[in-house]
Amino acid sequence: MNNTSVSYRVEPHDLAGHRLRITLHIDRPAAEGQTLSLPAWIPGSYLIRDFSRQIESLTVRDAAGARPVRKLDNHTWQVAPGDGPVTVDYVVYAWDLSVRGAHVDQHHAFFNGTSVFLQVHGQSHQPCTVELVAPAGHADWKVYTSLPAAPGRAALKANGFGRYQAPDYDALIDHPVEMGTGQSVSFHAHGARHVMVFTDAPADLDIDRIAADVKSICETQIAFFDPHARRAPFLDSADRYVFMTQVTPAGYGGLEHRASTALMAARGDLPVRGQKDAGDGYRSFLGLVSHEYFHTWHVKRIKPAAFVPYDLTRPNLTRLLWVFEGFTSYYDDLFLLRAGLISETEYLRLLARTVSQVHGTPGRLKQSVAESSFDAWTRYYKQDENSPNALVSYYTKGSLVALGMDLMIRSESAGRASLDDVMHVLWTRYGKAFYMGQQTGVPEDAMADIVQQATGVDLRAFLTQYVDGCADVPLGDLLGAQGISLQWRAPTVPVIGARLRKTADGLVVASILEGGAAHEAGLSADDLIVAIDGIRVDAQPAFDAALIRAAASRRSLHIHVFRQSMLQDYVVRVDHTMHTECVLTRTESAPGPGNVPG
């Protein structure tokens, strides 16, 4: 049956208890004692997550019976030496409703290989087989994954259960699996098969509309990276690309893989049949799809050298996440524009929102995007109430750096080059042949040289100031040169420099922005707001309305809060000048056809 030494069998076996039963068979275990381990983190999500803590009851047997096994560290097991093949039986508890872990219930089972597949040390570079087994009593379930089928015509049943094969461990853990009764649709983009599956989506989901929109995003990106052959990048690893979306009340997020992506979407963001305009929510879902699909090239193939290969036991530090997440965040909405899914006016509104967001974060003046990248593991991924004052996002500020670079290149090259040329060089040099043997990553200090080689423009001073330094990218001037005006206006709702959060107890201060009116008045994170101007807060129409009234009559607000158990009273001036909103408007016709920039 198996022509590989390592084979896994995965069976959801206790749906109500959220458990996967795994059987790992090793034909030729290391004679001196086989080492096994589970990754401590999942590529794309830069936090140590200790997936091994969800493994229950691991045992090893061979032809003679039980074989002893012991833990070497939190993620690693060692099987005692012995003769002949061994079988490892273990159970994974799967109740993490996120794109990063594993989740099993009576509706479906979703898992990432990083939660499920023990690495067989010494055989990580060998092919391995995976048998997916339907849970008892669920004959209507189907499998969705980009894992290639095992050789042989009988490997898979029509519903997708059966035997799959991965060329090595790195591939094995980069093809998540969804199984269940989700709604699915498939389409071809430039000849390559794409499948979308939605779990727990509304019954009247307009899946054909979504497929048509996503197809245009995929085709636009494929043609961007490969204008001549238009070959989808994932064909080096799989015969299809799979979008697997878990629908929840308010979910949002995604995780990229070499031939698939796992997404979370809010129920209300997805269009239903008969609905014409699905608005901002659907636009942000398409933006997320565009973002994760762009990663198929950029971070799954073009990678920082620090990720080649991944070390799955510890944080892999790079100062380049602003290139990989920032550029991707810049291109995600830009590809909605290029695919004709949003207008230039809408695009400028989305861009202005990002500018406002970054501008409203005091931490941008303390941390550079290079530092934010490097410390992602302990800071961006471990945010607390002070994060807006201490951190900058390599996503949002990274996207503004990308915009600034694009505009600089366009103006310095008199329109002959753009950031697109940088992407093409990155792809040709580092990405195109990544899974075909040429596994090199982008060196930490290479970006300035790459930009210069790709465009002839020297951006060293720019990168020093805005990537290694904390200065605001001078977008007003740069956009102005392209016929787009950047202006600041007072916010629609006046602000006090506090982020609030609704909780079961009431309205709670989530964060205080440094230097704002709330900070000046003495309010603090975790304060429970109980009254405004002497009126109980839940008897007020809304906090926003109180702000608008106060601003209109140029008054300050009396805010009563409980800090722990103490009642306190603060006078907060309503600020007209801080936290202004960015507005972008086209003032001159575009220099090229459909170019916003790009």
Closer to Zn ion by CB, 328 or 511: give it: 328
Closer to Zn ion by CB, 284 or 328: give it: 328
CB of 254 to Zn ion, least distance (A): 7
Closer to Zn ion by CB, 389 or 396: give it: 396
Closer to Zn ion by CB, 170 or 325: give it: 325
CB of 322 to Zn ion, least distance (A): 12
Q: Sign of dihedral through CA atoms 475, 481, 484, 489?
A: positive
Closer to Zn ion by CB, 12 or 304: give it: 304
Measured distance CA(43)–CA(114) in Å, rounded: 9
Angle formed by the axes of helices 279-295 and 327-338, nearest 10°: 120
Tell me the number of residues near Zn ion by CB under 5 A: 2
Looking up tokens 């570079």, which residue turns up?
A: 125
- Which residues in 249-361 belong to E strands, given as ranges? 253-256, 260-266
Q: Are 30 and 39 in contact (CB under 8 A)?
A: no
CB of 453 to Zn ion, least distance (A): 25
Closer to Zn ion by CB, 19 or 49: give it: 49
Closer to Zn ion by CB, 176 or 182: give it: 176
CB of 428 to Zn ion, least distance (A): 22
Q: Which residue, 404, 395, 389, is CA-closest to 466?
A: 404
For the CA atoms of 524, 530, 533, 535, the dihedral, rounded to the nearest 10 degrees, stands at 170
Site string for Zn ion, 276-315 (x = CB under 5 A): ----------------------------------------
Measured distance CA(496)–CA(579) in Å, rounded: 9
Q: Which residues of 162-183 are buried (b: 16+ CB within 10 A; e: fewer)?
A: bbbbbeebbbbbbbbbbbbebb
Q: Are 481 and 533 in contact (CB under 8 A)?
A: no
Closer to Zn ion by CB, 334 or 486: give it: 334
Closer to Zn ion by CB, 269 or 325: give it: 325
Closer to Zn ion by CB, 90 or 327: give it: 327
CB of 324 to Zn ion, least distance (A): 7
Closer to Zn ion by CB, 257 or 338: give it: 257
Looking up tokens 């990432």, which residue turns up?
A: 112
3-state secondary structure 548-564: HHHHHCCCEEEEEEEEC
CB of 295 to Zn ion, least distance (A): 6
CB of 325 to Zn ion, least distance (A): 5
Q: Are 569 and 560 in contact (CB under 8 A)?
A: yes
Q: Which residue, 406, 403, 281, 252, is CA-closest to 330?
A: 403
Q: Are 373 and 319 in contact (CB under 8 A)?
A: yes
Q: Give 22's contacts (C-beta < 8 A, 6+ positions apart).
A: 8, 9, 10, 11, 88, 89, 90, 91, 92, 116, 117, 118
Q: Are 147 and 166 in contact (CB under 8 A)?
A: yes
Q: Give 228's contacts (C-beta < 8 A, 6+ positions apart).
A: none
CB of 475 to Zn ion, least distance (A): 22
CB of 234 to Zn ion, least distance (A): 17
| Rounded alpha-carbon distances, angstroms, from residue 365 to 358, 372, 384, 386 | 10, 12, 18, 14
* 3-state secondary structure at position 334: helix
CB of 328 to Zn ion, least distance (A): 5
Site string for Zn ion, 311-350 (x = CB under 5 A): --------------x--x----------------------
CB of 370 to Zn ion, least distance (A): 17
Q: Give 98's contacts (C-beta < 8 A, 6+ positions apart).
A: 253, 264
Write out the residues near Zn ion by the rule CB under 5 A: 325, 328
